[in-house]
Structure 1
Amino acid sequence: MGAIDCYPNSKLKLQSMFLHRKSTNLISKAKEVALVAHPHPHIMPSPTIRSSAANLTRTMAAINKDGIGVDPHELDAIFEQKRSLRSKVRKALKNMDPILRSQEDNAIQNIVVESSWFKASKSLCAYVSSPALLEVGTSRIISEVLSSSAKERKKLYVPRVEDRNSNMKMLMISSVKDLIEKSMNILEPASVDSDGNQREDVMQASDPVDLFIVPGLAFDKSGSRLGRSGGYYDLFLKNYQELTKKKRWKQPLLVALSYSVQIIEDGAIPITPFDIPMDALVSPAGFIPISGAALRRCE
């Protein structure tokens, strides 16, 4: 497999990193995720809402499957560290040279659409990028899927925010015309198609999804992801992973797209029991496998 598919790190080192990440991650102990959120998973809430969300999250995060309490004071420190890190990353993104941003957008999307794991996928969930939020672009990825012949076309599900309680659906689209503008000009699928029929919800689909293309504010090479504080993706991914276990389906590959300025030092992203780790990253430098599933894609 070519360099476009695998980041030039040794597999042994990555496997060790993944095992360490699994041993220290509290996600497997989380019993429930409860977040008081905001109108959209990409938009920061007001200080008042954020404070209420943090208080409720601290309470719920203190309970896990083993009945072991998580120190609320430790969670206070984690939330404060996350707020500080989000501020720094947003500043770095705003200061990013537009030409460099465009070059990295093209490089990242080229890596995705040319990769063996993308080509092999039959069904995927992907975010619709928003320029206003300075997210890595996904327009070419979405176009690549939707422009394929009907016989070869992958199923594509994109996010639709349902409420202020971190609930989000992934609905199937067959054309960019299926998307409508919401707040901050963010495109989301209408709940029904042009014929008035309900769109297929990935949670009710008869077949599993192979791949998730996930956004975020910051990432590290051990799989940690820093979102925008809404909890939408963490909750949705948790629910979908539980569904795949119940159905005995293969877990989808979780791949995050990241500008170079969004990848930070390992261990710098504080994690909580409800943070879902990524299997791999795609940066301008290439595909960075993290989990065992992602490592196997490089073999």
Structure 2
Amino acid sequence: MDAKKDLRKSIKKRLSEISLPQYEDQSYRVAQQLFKTDEWIEASTVAVTVSKVPEVDTFQIIRKGWEQGKRMVVPKCEPKPRKLDFRELKRFSELESVYYGLLEPIVSETESVSPDEIDLVVVPGLAFSKDGYRLGFGGGYYDRFLANYQGNTISLAFKDQIIPEVPIESHDIAVEKIITSEGVIIIGD
């Protein structure tokens, strides 16, 4: 467990050193790579977290989804059962700041969407290995969600987030693709 904690700390430090222009440039390039994937093109409902620096910026991804007529859903964390409730987001004003400054959907203004209606989940993480495993932020919410999810999974990453290996536990689930500013890493290739 300490290995994960230490790795989280070192990746956060590395990401904090990215300048704002580099952050914006790399986020834009990652998004452009995502928009070319079959998973994005064919998806009508896309689940994505609302990013917080230093994660790859997802605001532009949500906007692009709206422009293309996609249903964009974002997670509301339910701390007691430690599960995710994905809710349709139609405007950024339907978000509120919750713990740790995270932006989540306002329950009274958004509708819950069943996991089987979601075509693509953009899975967040701090670090990723080329075999699709990721180091999350430590809550285990996504691992629990992905255990029963049947659709496509993609993660977005800056090149500094790709590392030789991440500590894996039995409940960890690999994503199918990792999108970076340099290109797409297809797991299993």
Same fold (TM over 0.5): yes
> Which AA in structure 2 matches 1:127?
T
Equivalent residue in structure 1 for 2:57, among 130, 134, 137: 137
Summarize deviations over 1:43-72 as a string: whole Å, max 9, x none: xxxxxxxxxxxxxxxxxxxxxxxxxxxxxx
Equivalent residue in structure 2 for 1:147, among 67, 70, 84: 67
User: Which residue number corresponds to residue 281 of structure 1?
Assistant: 178
* Secondary structure of the corresponding residue to residue 192 of structure 1: helix
Summarize deviations over 1:110-134 as a string: whole Å, max 9, x none: 1112333311111111111112xx1
Provide the rounded CA distance (Å) in 2 between the counterparts of 1:232 and 1:99: 31
Provide the rounded CA distance (Å) in 1 between the counterparts of 2:145 and 2:113: 12
Q: Does 1:168 align with 2:67?
A: no
> Which AA in structure 2 matches 1:169?
D
TM-score normalised to structure 2 length? 0.91
Provide the rounded CA distance (Å) in 1 between the counterparts of 2:133 and 2:15: 19
Q: Does 1:227 align with 2:149?
A: no
User: Which residue number corresponds to residue 185 of structure 1?
Assistant: 101
User: Which residue number corresponds to residue 48 of structure 2?
Assistant: 126
Q: Does 1:258 align with 2:157?
A: yes
Provide the rounded CA distance (Å) in 2 between the counterparts of 1:105 and 1:144: 13
Q: Does 1:218 align with 2:140?
A: no
Q: Does 1:103 align with 2:12?
A: no
Larger Rg computed on CA atoms: 1
Provide the rounded CA distance (Å) in 1 between the counterparts of 2:140 and 2:90: 27
User: Which residue number corresponds to residue 145 of structure 2?
Assistant: 236
Provide the rounded CA distance (Å) in 2 between the counterparts of 1:90 and 1:209: 30
* Secondary structure of the corresponding residue to residue 288 of structure 1: strand
Question: What is the root-mean-square deviation in Å for CA atoms of aligned residues?
Answer: 1.8
Equivalent residue in structure 2 for 1:201, among 113, 123, 135: 113
User: What 5-or-longer segments of structure 1 have no aligned partner?
Assistant: 1-78, 242-250
Are the aligned partners of 1:146 and 1:175 in contact in 2 as well (CA < 8 Å)?
no
* Secondary structure of the corresponding residue to residue 222 of structure 1: coil
Provide the rounded CA distance (Å) in 1 between the counterparts of 2:102 and 2:29: 23
Residue 102 of structure 1 deviates from its aligned partner by: 1.7
Are the aligned partners of 1:157 and 1:202 in contact in 2 as well (CA < 8 Å)?
no
Identity %: 29
Are the aligned partners of 2:157 and 2:180 in contact in 1 as well (CA < 8 Å)?
yes
* Secondary structure of the corresponding residue to residue 256 of structure 1: strand
Are the aligned partners of 2:85 and 2:112 in contact in 1 as well (CA < 8 Å)?
no
Instruction: Return structure 1 stretches of 4+ with deviation > 3 angstroms.
Output: none
Residue 216 of structure 1 deviates from its aligned partner by: 0.4
Provide the rounded CA distance (Å) in 1 between the counterparts of 2:46 and 2:4: 29
Residue 164 of structure 1 deviates from its aligned partner by: 4.4
Are the aligned partners of 1:123 and 1:155 in contact in 2 as well (CA < 8 Å)?
yes
Higher helix share: 1
User: What 5-or-longer segments of structure 2 have no aligned partner?
Assistant: none
Greater mean alpha carbon deviation, residues 278-287 or residues 114-123: 114-123
Higher strand share: 2
Provide the rounded CA distance (Å) in 1 between the counterparts of 2:52 and 2:114: 22
Are the aligned partners of 2:130 and 2:162 in contact in 1 as well (CA < 8 Å)?
yes
Summarize deviations over 1:153-197 as a string: whole Å, max 9, x none: 22221010112442221111222222222234322111122xxxx
Provide the rounded CA distance (Å) in 2 between the counterparts of 1:105 and 1:140: 9
After superposition, the Cα gap between the structure-2 partners of 1:164 and 1:93, relative to the gap in structure 1 and judged at 3 Å, is farther
Provide the rounded CA distance (Å) in 2 between the counterparts of 1:184 and 1:209: 26
* Secondary structure of the corresponding residue to residue 88 of structure 2: strand
